[in-house]
């Protein structure tokens, strides 16, 4: 029989001591790493490195950056970890022009404020000036204009703020393509129908309708027009049912009952 290799305990002791030393060193390095990491966090929190240096505002058109920042209550030099994102969001949302907002920290020292404003759905006229109107009925009186753009209609006759708000809420639910087709919206209340409106369209038609469920009813407008003779002009009624009433070619009568020419109707 061959000799067996026998390792005595005396021969193994140096190896065991070396392994134990390595484990002890690794444990020491681990604890030292945690210690210095915690010290670094404390130093960071107590130093200007954790202070807000930049406040970035995006998504706003009508509200100025400085106004959004002021309403947030966040100031440069504030410790970024003491900033309450929920409180800043709540105070900014109090602005009637703003529909929603997101406030986020971007380390090491930036606060990002992403604003979502109510859409611009029309204009109102006061004297010789025009003012944008948002989808919540808010008239931006600080944004006085001499003219209106073709992307939103002129809202006329809305002397009651309640009905103006109802109208703008319907307009904001319209597709952009249909909204741009509307030139003017006239509020024409009567004793029997306080929600009656008359629309003058950029393609030459007139729409007789109501504020109630206007967005849903107006969604079929392109389909109705596509079935009409391009040469014929008249009134499209979108009430309980939708139908087309062509203008009288000899002596056209406007929706108020008075005689008018083609040019006046358009």
Longest dimension (CA), the chain: 130
Q: b/e map of 232-241 (b: 16 or more CB within 10 Å)?
A: ebbbbbbeee
Q: How far apart (Å, rounded) are the C-alpha atoms in residues 175 and 193?
A: 26
One domain, residues 255 and 228:
yes
Residue 93 sits in which domain range?
49-117
Q: Is residue 91 part of a domain?
A: yes
Q: How far from 180 is each of 175, 199, 202, CA to CA, in Å?
A: 9, 12, 8
One domain, residues 60 and 110:
yes
One domain, residues 19 and 89:
no
One domain, residues 30 and 87:
no
Examine the fold and report which residue of 117, 146, 165 is the final residue of a domain before the chain moves on: 117
One domain, residues 239 and 170:
yes
Examine the fold and report which residue of 70, 89, 117 is the final residue of a domain before the chain moves on: 117
One domain, residues 169 and 252:
yes
pLDDT in tens, the chain (266 residues): 555 555 555 555 666 667 777 777 788 888 888 888 888 777 766 777 779 999 999 999 888 999 999 999 999 999 998 999 999 999 999 998 899 999 999 988 999 999 999 888 999 998 889 999 999 999 999 888 888 877 899 999 999 999 999 999 999 999 999 999 999 999 999 988 999 999 999 999 999 999 999 999 999 999 999 999 988 889 999 987 888 999 875 444 455 544 433 333 33
Statement: the pTM of the whole predicted model exceeds 0.85: no
- Residues whose CB is less than 8 angstroms from the CB of residue 170 and which lie 6 or more positions away in sequence, other chains included: 211, 213, 214, 215
One domain, residues 169 and 231:
yes
- Domain count for the chain: 3
Is the distance from CB of 124 to CB of 136 less than 8 angstroms?
Answer: no
């Amino acid at each position: 029989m061959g000799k067996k290799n026998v390792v005595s305990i005396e021969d193994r002791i140096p190896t065991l001591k070396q392994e134990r030393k390595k484990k002890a060193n690794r444990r020491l390095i681990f604890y030292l790493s945690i210690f210095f990491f915690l010290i670094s966090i404390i130093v960071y929190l107590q130093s200007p490195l954790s202070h807000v240096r930049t406040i970035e505002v995006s998504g706003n058109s009508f509200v100025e950056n400085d106004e959004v920042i002021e309403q947030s209550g966040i100031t440069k030099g504030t410790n970024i970890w003491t900033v309450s994102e929920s409180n800043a969001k709540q105070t900014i949302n109090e602005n009637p022009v703003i529909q929603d907002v997101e406030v986020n920290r971007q380390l090491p020292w930036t606060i990002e404020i992403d604003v979502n404003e109510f859409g611009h759905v029309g204009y109102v006229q006061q004297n010789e000036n025009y003012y944008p109107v948002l989808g919540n009925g808010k008239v931006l009186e600080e944004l006085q204009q001499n003219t209106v753009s073709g992307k939103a209609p002129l809202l006329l006759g809305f002397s009651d703020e309640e009905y103006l708000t109802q109208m703008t809420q319907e307009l904001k639910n319209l597709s952009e393509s249909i909204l741009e087709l509307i030139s003017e919206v006239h509020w024409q209340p009567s004793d029997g129908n306080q929600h009656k409106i008359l629309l003058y369209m950029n393609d030459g038609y007139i729409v007789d309708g109501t504020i109630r469920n206007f967005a849903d009813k107006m969604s079929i407008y392109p389909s109705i027009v596509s079935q009409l003779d391009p040469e014929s002009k008249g009134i499209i009624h979108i009430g309980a049912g939708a139908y087309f009433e062509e203008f009288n070619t000899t002596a056209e009568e406007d929706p108020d009952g008075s005689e008018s020419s083609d040019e006046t109707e358009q």
